[in-house]
Structure 1
Amino acid sequence: MTETAEISALDKKIVRLLQGEFPLVAEPYKALADEIGISEGELIARIDAMREEKKIRKVGAVLRHREVGFTSNALCVWDVPDVRIDETARRMAEHPRVSHCYERNRTADWRYNLYTMIHGYSHDECEEIAAALAAETGIGDRRMLYTKHEWKKTSMKYFAEE
């Protein structure tokens, strides 16, 4: 069973801040710290502590991939032998055009257990990336599920104020 980490009220405020728009000013961390009444040094120390405690993974920009030319994406599902799942997932996750890589349970009518999200400039490029991953890992049984229409795409907002 996974142990649940406690998160303080201050850290929740910091997480809420970091999920919003990053201020485009000379001292963005100072501006964020001022919003919640702490020093810039304390804000940075709390972010570093949460990273060390593995409560947050990173602080970074979110690219709007379609606006910069990555107009095709595919959820590629793979049938990977259970004994090879860790090695295969690690290798696929290292590819720069794979943004997500998850293991999921198989079902009686769905044999696929590894899911990768591949981004490319075209369907052909996504197919080439999947073919390269198949060649590299020796896993050939896959299906490409392309996005037809996007109704919603947002990042999850944690600790929303109630």
Structure 2
Amino acid sequence: MTAEDITELDKNIIRVLQGDFPLVAEPYKTLAEQAGVSEEVFLERIRDMQATKKIRKMGAVLRHREVGFSANVLVAWEVPAARLDEIAQNMAKSPSVTHCYDRNTAPDWPYNLYTMVHGHSREECEQVVKQLGEANGVSKHVMLYSKHEWKKTAMKYFCE
């Protein structure tokens, strides 16, 4: 796929999708109006761009501090390799976990599963981590608390 494969209409729709999602009854209608097309055309183009892999995913960026989650911790877990998928799926189901992914280990770093846990306090985060560990039979982990949030932005395309 080259840049020429993306039409000007598609670029305009992508630009609109990169902004704030309108909190209204018909958000795609509002976005379509911003793009200068009907809602039907807007949704059709999104489906086509997904089908042709021009758009791989669409998702929300939660600014967790703005909604009251003032504590967050990256937890690195040492999980048996044979149970990695099972445990990761279990942990990812927790409403307090926003990210869950596996990583390679190193000789001095045995942790292979990472979860990002958000809470209203450190105590709440620690309770969630304790529950996750107990529910999955995993005890070895390290908790890396965020001290400062440096960046909370998404990539922007076709904004030249």
TM range (shorter): 0.7 to 0.9
Aligned pairs for 1:40-79 (under 5 A) are 40-50=39-49, 55-58=55-58, 60=60, 62-79=61-78
Which stretches of structure 1, 4 residues or longer, exceed 6 Å deviation after superposition?
none
- How far residue 78 of structure 1 moved from its aligned partner, in angstroms, is 0.4
1:115 aligns with 114
Residues 53 and 131 of structure 1, relative CA distance in 2, 3 Å threshold? farther
Unaligned ranges ≥5, structure 1: none
In the TM superposition, residue 148 of structure 1 has moved relative to its aligned partner by 1.0
Percent of aligned pairs with the same amino acid? 51
Residue 127 of structure 2 is matched in structure 1 by: 128
Normalising by structure 1, what TM-score?
A: 0.80
Distance verdict in 2 for CA 1:115–1:24, change over 3 Å: closer
Quick one: which amino acid aligns to residue 153 of structure 1? K
What does 1:22-33 correspond to in 2, within 5 Å? 22-23=21-22, 28-33=27-32
Aligned residues: 156
CA drift of 1:107 comes to 1.7
Gaps of 5+ in 2: none
> Could you tell me how far 1:89 is from its partner in structure 2?
0.5
CA RMSD of aligned residues (A): 2.7
Compute the TM-score of the two structures, normalised by the length of structure 2.
Answer: 0.81
Matched, 1:8 2:6: yes
CA offset digits 1:37-89 (Å, max 9, x no partner): 322111122334556677444455x4432223211100001011111111111
